[in-house]
Structure 1
Amino acid sequence: MAVGSRNYIVWEDLSVQVADAFGEANNKKKALLHAVTGFAQSARLLALLGPSGSGKTTLLHSLAGTLDANASMTGNILINGKKRKWHHREISYVAQEETFLGTLTVRETLTYSAKMRLISKMTKEEISKVVQQTIMEMGLEDCADNHIGNWHLRGISNGEKKRLAIGLEILTQPNVLFLDEPTTGLDSASAFYVIHSLRQIAHGGKIIMCSIHQPSNEIFHLFDDLLLLSGGETVYFGEAKMALEFFANAGFPCPTTRNPQITSFCNIIKFCNGLENIRE
């Protein structure tokens, strides 16, 4: 990755297929992505939206290089205009489900992870400084010395666990961060705080792309760019603030009193149904 300049990832004609469970004998494939093209750049937060099964998680796995072994991918993925392999310190992926050791505190969890993942030449004081910086960056100061908790030990909230999961991934200061629905299971205030934290990290010069399910109007306005998928195809890609105008020009305006994201999901279905009719 280039230092001191804007970085970007481009995916060109990206298609992903997996073996169809009902057609394995005939070597049939199920398409999850269909020639998707787009890009993500540093200092901008990119949201990935779409109905269930639209290909959001598949696209994130494709870009992160974590596709299942039974999936086949075609197309190009370029980093700053060049094909290259990922380095483990350049990219991090945050899955929906977090797994923690509940008897550890937030600080202990971050410290153990830092000792295993940061360079071995770092002193104890340097590691402690990185951990404290991460705690502050993710707004975990108030619960830093609280146990994470489990089924018999009361611990931190779900929102704090989400921020801890992100904190574990930014310990190594990756240039790229992919997140699969980081607001799932959170209340509106916690969800806003998580996305606001991601926006600040992105605007600090990182490439951040996250899938999200039906964000509130307040959260939607935190996103710089937006990619809408349906059935593995791109419906909209561009600035988030221009999405409503795009649908309005296509004949699907958003009522002034309606959450734009609820309307957008409806518009995806209507818009794609229209495309299917044209193809037929």
Structure 2
Amino acid sequence: MPVLGLQLPFASRRSSFEGAVVEPVDVRSKIAYVMQDYAMPPLSTPRELLHMSAVLRRARDPAAVTQQVRELLEALRLQKCADTLVGSSLVRGISGGEKKRTSVAVELITRPRMIFLDEPLSGLDSYAAWTVVQVLRELAEHGCAVLCTMHQPSSDIFETFQEIICLAEGRVVYFGTATELISYMEQAGRPVPTHLNPADHILFQVQIMSMEDLRQFAQSWAAVENSSILPRIQQVRAAGTAPGSALQPLKRKSFGTQLAVLVRREFKATMRDRTNLVARFAVNAIMGLFVCLHVCRDRPKEQHAPRYAVAFWCNLPDYDWDDAWQLPATAVAVSV
């Protein structure tokens, strides 16, 4: 998945995009990739994350940024939680499904033509998973190709997808629609039982097969692929046109713009986490006083030693507290 999403080097010598043979780097700006564990600042809101992404990756006009953010919040059903903190294990925030939709929205800022999602339903309950899939289906209906990996889709989610690819031991054992899967499994001698999810059936079958049976099962599909799928790919490539200027990489924002956006985000996060902020100042003050008292006790005649020790401590606001026991000795060594 990272290779298809162009997150890792692309080894293929011949790749096509919308039927045209292209260099992967030329279409990077039109392909979005959402990781399974999408890291987002816990003290930011979905609206702020979308706004930051739009400023750094897309529009310059403030009105255009605001409009695009509003449209994405509505399209991905994030209006209710737009101004709620993302949250983390220590900070209460939005739900898991809302986090998934927020991560998708962040990547949609660049208006990609294709989006890859790695396990978008992991850790979600049935309703949250269904909501995410409905949003992905709406994206596909509006012209954005969606490809995502799943391990155990429910029957409702399975029927939502237009085409399905099943992999086993790195080999393709099926590619087609959900309806065609039932007929193909019957032809392969492994029919889907009545009232059983076809996705569960084929995944269970490839798990219990021996390596030899799995090899034959993959070869049987390869024969179908060579006779029907590959000719379609060649036909599309033959009819493809050269990509236009719309596929050119997006220009990076200036250093000043990036710095201003990140400083603003960090300032907001710091002010929102006031408990941690006050605790850091308090710990610095207490430990600084402890160092002063320690130095004054050992060297009472040196009037400047405590001043040096305090200055030394104040320059280390993010000191590793696991090694704090070494600090008094270090402070004395510096002040002597």
**TM-score higher than 0.5 here?**
yes
Instruction: Provide the rounded CA distance (Å) in 1 between the counterparts of 2:156 and 2:115.
Output: 22
**Contact 1:63–1:77 (CA under 8 A) maintained in structure 2:** no
Other-structure match for 1:118: 58
Q: Following TM superposition, by how much is the alpha carbon of 1:275 offset from its aligned partner in structure 2, in angstroms?
A: 4.6
Deviations 1:122-158 (A, max 9, x none): x211101100100011110111111111232210000
- Counterpart residue number, 1:226: 164
Q: Structure 1 residues 184, 274: closer, same or farther in 2, change over 3 A?
A: same
> What is aligned with 1:61?
2
The corresponding residue for 1:54 is none
In structure 2, C-alpha distance between the alignment counterparts of 1:108 and 1:275, rounded to whole Å: 49
Task: Measure, in 2, the Cα distance between the counterparts of 1:272 and 1:75.
Answer: 30
Please tell me the residue identity of whatever aligns with 1:179: L
Do the aligned partners of residues 253 and 271 (structure 1) sit closer, same or farther apart at CA in structure 2, a change above 3 Å counting?
farther
How far does the alpha carbon of each residue in 1:80-106 deviate from its partner, in whole angstroms, 9 at most, with x for none? 333213334311101101111111111
Alignment of 1:177-216 (within 5 A): 177-216=115-154
- Name the SS of the counterpart of 2:148 in structure 1: strand
Q: Which amino acid aligns with 2:137?
A: R
Residue aligned with 1:83, SS = strand
Q: 2:80 aligns with which of 120, 133, 142?
A: 142
Q: Distance in 2 between matches of 1:83 and 1:258?
A: 41
Higher relative contact order, structure no. (Cα contacts within 8 Å, ≥ 6 residues apart)? 1
- 1:276 maps to which residue? 215
Aligned to 2:21: 83
Q: Which has the larger radius of gyration?
A: 2
1:165 aligns to what?
103
Calculate percent identity across the aligned residue pairs: 33
- Conserved 8 A contact 2:115-2:145: yes
- Structure 1 residues 263 and 149: CA distance shift in structure 2, 3 A: same
More strand by share: 1
Counterpart of 1:259 in structure 2: which amino acid? N
Cα distance, 1:75 vs. partner?
A: 5.5
Are 1:180 and 1:211, in contact at CA under 8 Å, matched by a contact in 2?
yes
Q: Name whichever of 263-272 and 161-170 sits farther off.
A: 263-272
User: What is the total number of aligned residue pairs between the two structures?
Assistant: 215
Indicate yes or no: 2:191 matched with 1:253: yes
- Would the alpha carbon gap of residues 146 and 83 (structure 1) be closer, same or farther in structure 2, given more than 3 Å must change? same
CA distance in structure 2 between the partners assigned to 1:237 and 1:108 by the alignment: 40
**Offset of 1:215 from its aligned partner?**
0.3
Query: For 1:87, what is the secondary structure of its paired residue?
Result: helix
Q: Which has the higher helix share?
A: 2
Structure 1 consecutive aligned stretches of length 4 or more whose deviation exceeds 4 Å = none
For structure 1, the residue ranges without an aligned partner over 5 or more in a row are: 1-59
* Structure 2: distance between partners of 1:277 and 1:227: 18
User: Which residue is 1:36 aligned to?
Assistant: none
